[in-house]
Amino acid sequence: MSKDNKNINLRNRLIRLMRKEKWQSISIPLVAIIMSFIAAAIVILLIGKNPLQAFCNLFQGAGILPKPSYAGYKSMLTDFMSLLNAMTPLLFASLAVAVAFRAGLFNIGVAGQMLVSGFFATIIVGYSGLDAIIAKPLVLLIGIIAGGLMGGLVGWLKYKFNINEVVSTIMLNYIAQYIISFFIQMYYINPVSRQSQYISEAARLTLVNVEVGDLKMDIPLGFVLAIITAILIKYVMDKTVVGFDIKAVGSNRNAAKYSGINVGRNTVLAMVISGSLAGLAGVTYYLGYYASIQPKVLSDIGFDSIAVALLGNSHPIGVIFSSSLISIIDQGSTYMSSQAGIRQEISSVIVGLILLFSACGVYMKYKISCMSEKVEERKESKS
């Protein structure tokens, strides 16, 4: 068999593999990631740097690969735990966006829902002096309730007055940002850091500087909960009536209404679930990854989660892998910059390219379908 024929056969096998719908949730995001890294490598080459070294430094900074040397009390394990600590709120936030996507909604208000949840948990529990065994579960409960109420408000406005959720969430983001900033600066400001007063260690969802052997590491208590939540969301969406109704509403609201599904109730419910997940992202961010709130600032996680949800194809398990990838890029960018001499903003370029190629997922499906049809036609003509 000639080399050209081997290449054609390999291409045809790849097309047949990617044509299968059950694999497209994995294959298309994987292609998007590969294409984005190739594009990023070209950018790095254009600025005169070695892309292989840059990507190696990126993974070293995130704790995926070992560094040549470490500071005292640090190792690859401590870097990896820091990665999980940063990934936890991003995973919750991305699940929030993914659930809304399943219902045909665009929850761009995750950052505001995070801020509201984090603020209420901070002033109610963070400054209360409660014991850890009470404070930590209470922080999670407040995050779920505050985020769920805010998300439910958006769903109710959509159902009752047909107010586009993008408009309402953007407006609520600004409302939350400036009202909470006012209260922090008036009552809870730290005169040194110019952020809110630091919360008690008992209320914090990350155990900081825990000594394990000769290491000191940060242990995110919410990470395991985030993984369990992703699995639970998958089960609800795939195996329950509630999940079927939400997906039906997201696929076609008119058809769902005609079949007897309560569109309004499921719209509100989807946004309550999405808001609750955003609330968990808020408390694991403001009372976990950080221990205070910066006034007038919305977390970038609320917006990065959109890219993560798109990359994960709005699938809970896919979101776990996509959030880990984006976290690796974010956490490793500082070390990459210092070792490879590449500006830290290159990491944002990589994330942007991933988002760009992920947004082309529908086009990729179309092209794969067209190419597979041509392959079948050639088979038939030969036979």
Residue 25 has a pLDDT of 65
Percent of the chain with pLDDT over 70: 87
The 10s digit of each residue's pLDDT in 210-246 is: 988 889 999 999 999 999 999 999 999 999 999 999 9
Residue 2 reports pLDDT greater than 60: no
Residue 11 has pLDDT above 70, yes or no: no
Among the listed ranges 30-34, 169-173, 321-325, 374-378, which one has the minimum average pLDDT value? 374-378
Find the mean pLDDT for residues 134-163. 95
> Is residue 18 very low, low, confident or very high in pLDDT (cuts 50, 70, 90)?
low
pLDDT above 80 for 79: yes
Determine the pLDDT at residue 9.
60
> What pLDDT does residue 119 have?
97
Residue 150 has pLDDT above 70, yes or no: yes
217 SS3 class: strand
Overall average pLDDT of the 297-315 stretch: 87
pLDDT band at 47 (very low <50, low <70, confident <90, very high): confident
- pLDDT of 8 > 60? The answer is no
Rounded to whole angstroms, how far apart are CA atoms 1 and 141? 64
Say whether pLDDT at 177 is over 80.
yes
What confidence category does residue 158 fall into, taking pLDDT thresholds of 50, 70 and 90? very high
Average pLDDT over residues 307-318: 86
Distances (CA, A) of 249 to 54, 72, 149, 245, 246: 44, 54, 21, 6, 5
Q: Is the pLDDT of residue 10 over 90?
A: no
pLDDT band at 259 (very low <50, low <70, confident <90, very high): confident
Q: What pLDDT, on the 0 to 100 scale, is given for residue 154?
A: 96
On average, the pLDDT of the chain sits at 88
- Short-list 270, 244, 239, CA closest to 256: 244
**Cβ contact 188:196 at 8 Å:** yes
How much is the average pLDDT of 135-146? 97
- The stretch 13-37 carries a mean pLDDT of 69
Decide if pLDDT at 293 tops 80: yes
Would you call 190 helix, strand, or coil by DSSP? coil
Kindly tell me if the per-residue pLDDT of 60 is higher than 80: yes
What confidence tens digit (pLDDT) does each residue in 104-123 have?
999 999 999 999 999 999 99
Q: What gap in Å lies between CA 326 and CA 60, rounded to an integer?
A: 15
Structural domains present in the chain: 1-49+342-383 (no CATH), 71-332 (1.10.3470)
Torsion of CA 303, 307, 312, 314, to 10 degrees: 60
What local confidence, expressed as pLDDT, does residue 148 receive?
97
What token pair was written down for 94? 């991305």
Tell me the CA distances in angstroms from 137 to 120, 227, 269, 320, one per residue in order.
14, 17, 23, 23
Those residues with Cβ within 8 angstroms of residue 281's Cβ, 6 or more apart along the chain or in another chain = 89, 90, 91, 92, 93, 96, 110, 113, 114, 117, 147, 301, 302, 305
**Residue 370: how many CB atoms within 10 A of its CB?**
11
85: confidence class by pLDDT, cuts 50, 70, 90: very high
